[in-house]
C-alpha cells in the first residue's frame, strides 16, 4: 500500500489528469468561439452555417462551464492533492543545501590560499 501511495503522490499522475480535464474543457471553449467567430464573417454567415451551436450564447455557455469545471478540479483534486503531498512528502527546509555549503567553503579556502601566495 505504501508503494501505491508513493506512486500517486510522487508521480505526475494528478498533474496529467488535471491537464487532460482542463485541456478538454478549454478545447470546447475554443471550438465554440471559432464557430461563433466564423458565423460572423460575411462569407460564412449564411443560412447553412448559422445555427444554435454557432451562437454567442453557446460560446458563453462553454466559458462558464470551463470556469466551473476549473474551480471543481482545483478545489476537489488539486488542493487536496497538494495538501496530501506536503503531509507525506514535506518540502526541504529553506536555506542552502549541504553540498552547496561545502562547495562555498572550498571556494573560500581556495581564494584564501591564492591570496596568501600573491
Could you list the pLDDT tens digit for every one of the 118 residues in the chain?
777 777 777 667 788 888 899 999 898 888 888 888 777 766 544 555 556 656 777 788 888 888 898 898 899 888 998 888 888 877 777 777 888 889 999 999 998 887 666 5
- Would residue 23 count as lying in a domain? yes
- Would residue 111 count as lying in a domain? no
How far is 81 from 2, CA to CA, in rounded Å?
16
- Would residue 106 count as lying in a domain? no
Residue 62: the pLDDT is 84
Residue 45: the pLDDT is 47
Burial of 73-110, coded b for 16+ CB within 10 Å and e otherwise, reads beeeeeeebeeeeeeeeeeeeeeeeeeeeeeeeeeeee
- Would residue 103 count as lying in a domain? no
Q: Say which residue the cell 507525506 belongs to.
A: 88
Q: Say which residue the cell 450564447 belongs to.
A: 57
The domain tally of the chain equals 1
Residue 44: the pLDDT is 46
- Would residue 109 count as lying in a domain? no
Three cell numbers at 21? Answer: 480535464
Closest CA to 77 of 28, 27, 13: 13
Residue 75: the pLDDT is 92
The whole-model pTM stands at 0.57
The whole-angstrom distance between residue 94's C-alpha and the CA centroid of its chain comes to 24
Classify the C-alpha dihedral 66-20-89-81 as positive or negative: positive
Residue 84: the pLDDT is 84
How far is 28 from 84, CA to CA, in rounded Å?
31
- Would residue 105 count as lying in a domain? no
- Would residue 114 count as lying in a domain? no
**Parent domain of 38:** 2-92
Amino acid at each position: 500500500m505504501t508503494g501505491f501511495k508513493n506512486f500517486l503522490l510522487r508521480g505526475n499522475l494528478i498533474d496529467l489528469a488535471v491537464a487532460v480535464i482542463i485541456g478538454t474543457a478549454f478545447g470546447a471553449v475554443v471550438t465554440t468561439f471559432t464557430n461563433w467567430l466564423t458565423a460572423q464573417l460575411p462569407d460564412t454567415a449564411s443560412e447553412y452555417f448559422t445555427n444554435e451551436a454557432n451562437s454567442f450564447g453557446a460560446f458563453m455557455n462553454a466559458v462558464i462551464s470551463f470556469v466551473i469545471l476549473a474551480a471543481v478540479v482545483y478545489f476537489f483534486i488539486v488542493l487536496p492533492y497538494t495538501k496530501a503531498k506536503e503531509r507525506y512528502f514535506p518540502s526541504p527546509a529553506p536555506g542552502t543545501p549541504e553540498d552547496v555549503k561545502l562547495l562555498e567553503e572550498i571556494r573560500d579556502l581556495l581564494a584564501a590560499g591564492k591570496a596568501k601566495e600573491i
